[in-house]
Amino acid sequence: MFIHIGDDNVIRSEEVVAIIDHQIVASSTINEQMLFNQRKNKKVLDPSEEGTKSIVITKDYIYYSPLSVLTLKKRASMISTISKLEDYSESFEE
């Protein structure tokens, strides 16, 4: 399944490693260093921090998202719920 994380970015839900609040990341020197290193390796997409509420870390890239951690969590939970639903559609034979 896929998660829309804002700013025309859609990622595969199974690739998400972490979703972190931007304020927490900004207050940690270790996280800042990690982001700096990933920027040098060109692994950060949409690096403009204006309007950023959360950071989504995937296996390959880091995305800045204008959506809150709670909103992204709800979207991921909806995907989890949908994938667990039974398929009750009827198959018609003609």
User: Mean of the pLDDT values across residues 70-94?
Assistant: 64
* β-sheet bridge partners, residue 44: 62
pLDDT band at 84 (very low <50, low <70, confident <90, very high): low
Could you report the per-residue pLDDT of 5-45, keeping only the tens digit for each?
A: 888 888 888 888 888 888 888 788 888 898 889 989 889 87
3-state secondary structure of 5: strand
d(CA 79, CA 4): 11
3-state secondary structure of 55: strand
Q: What is the pTM of this model?
A: 0.74
Q: Are 38 and 59 in contact (CB under 8 A)?
A: no
